[in-house]
Chains A and B, each alone.
Chain A
Amino acid sequence: MNESQRLVELIPRLRRYARALVGDRATADDLVQDTLERAWAKLHLYRRGTDLRAWLFTVMHNVHVNRVRAARITDPLEDEMPELAQRAPQGDGLLVRDLDRAITRLPAEQRAVLLLVTLEEMSYEQVAGALGIPIGTVMSRLSRARDKLRAMMLGQPAAAKLKLVK
């Protein structure tokens, strides 16, 4: 199978991740479209025999960061990436549940790690590769994301910080 067919096969997974990452459907599909176009343009840089899915998620991550940067409204005190778009109002279908709203409230970099690990079921090494961060950072972001998410779902503030559990 050639790369273009495999790319097409991976579109539903890109859409799923994008939906969870940015919230609403139209913005998510915009992100997927930009990702596919960029992946096409850069396909000569993809090394055959390596993991095309991981490479595509790297492309998507870069596209997403650029889109967010382009849309950024300056907020110098905020070190978390702001949202690309407001969430669609409730009632637009099955996907509007508490969990998906809670996810979009996570800091973007924590959200990306959590989604790649849980939705895409990537290994921690693959996540580190796709996002271009050390594996220790993957682990700490994952831990913080889950801590916050759980607290949001319980309606409680998250524990202050990550600690080594003896």
Chain B
Amino acid sequence: MSEPITEADLQAYADGVLPAERRAAVAEWLAAHPEDAERIEAYRHLAQELRGTYQGVLDEPVPDRLMRSVGAARARRAAVMAAWIAIGVALGALAGWQLHELRPGALPAAESAAAMAHRAAVAHATYSPEVRHPVEVGADQEAHLVTWLSKRLGTQLRAPKLEAVGYTLVGGRLLPGEHGPVAHFMYQCNRGTRVTLYVRSDMGSNRSTAFRYSREGAVDVYYWVDSKLGYAVSSGDISKELLLTVANAAYQQLNPP
């Protein structure tokens, strides 16, 4: 004797997903239970009618706004790529100028901070369009990420909490800097715009700079130096004003009064 027929079997029968043997057993059972047979037949009929009712939606033209919500990220990637090229040229020019005029490390704090803004913009343009691999270590391992980057930079780092201004941590990665490793944190808002925080610990300065702004191609950067630590907050996706709000929130947490 086979397994008793359950309600789940009847549903699966109505959906036509039972294996042949079981299907035969259910059919046989239904032949002896006309009320259930009628009910299951009604279910099949309803399913057909349901598919028929909504079939037309599949053939409707997709509204532009829906196409745009997928296309937005592609457009952003193209914009950031253009920014990257612009910055690349600027950075090349800057590097040449540095080699000519100055030995590395001899830059006054303000000028080396400006060079950092360029590098931060390049890092932003490189990594922020990444859909699949934006970070090396994800925010699900935030404690590990911060410990690792702190160890490599030789100083205790923190990933600021930017939820209050609409950004959550995606994760971070280690980057090569001018003279040593750099920490790079990525944040994202619920519409997919990204902001990155670039942190270096080799500013070689015992001074601090004020909060500054620089536009690097299509990337906006706010940056500041706090003794040996240099910070830059970059984005190419959002307005300068909104980025200022985000950068300020990071600044308040990283440099508490």
Contact = CB atoms under 8 A, between A and B. Distances in A.
Interface of A: 3-4, 7-8, 11-13, 15-16, 19-20, 29, 32-33, 36-38, 40-41, 43-44, 48, 94-95, 97, 99-100, 103, 114-115, 117-119, 123-124, 139, 142-143, 146, 149-150, 153, 162-166
Interface stretch (B4-12, B97-105, B149-157, B242-250): B4-12
Q: 8 smallest A-B Cβ distances: which pairs?
A: A41-B192, A16-B57, A36-B69, A118-B47, A139-B8, A12-B58, A146-B43, A37-B69
Interface stretch (B117-125, B128-136, B158-166, B207-215): B128-136
A29 B66 CA distance: 8
Given A41-B192, A143-B7, A123 B17 contact: yes
- Which of B42, B46, B60 counts the most chain A CB atoms within 10 A? B46
Contact of B190 (A11, A41, A117, A123): A41
Interface of B: 4-8, 10-12, 14-15, 17, 33, 36, 39, 42-43, 46-47, 49-51, 53-54, 56-60, 62-63, 65-67, 69-70, 72-74, 130-134, 170, 188, 190-192
The B contact surface, by secondary structure, is: helix
B43 A99 contact: no
A32 B132 contact: no
B49 A33 contact: no
A5 to B, nearest CB: 9
A33 B69 contact: yes
Contact of B70 (A4, A13, A48): A4
A13 B51 CA distance: 12
A47 to B, nearest CB: 10
A95 B74 contact: no
Nearest to A139: B8
A32 B191 CA distance: 14
Contacts of A164: 4, 6-7
Given A103-B50, A150-B43, A166-B4, A44 B131 contact: yes
B54 A19 contact: yes
B7 A19 contact: no
A56 to B, nearest CB: 11
Nearest to B74: A4
B50 A37 contact: no
Contact of A15 (B36, B50, B60): B60
B42 A150 contact: yes
B239 to A, nearest CB: 19
A108 B132 CA distance: 33
B50 A99 contact: yes
5 contacts: A8-B67, A13-B58, A20-B50, A95-B56, A146-B43
- Which of A20, A36, A118 counts the most chain B CB atoms within 10 A? A118
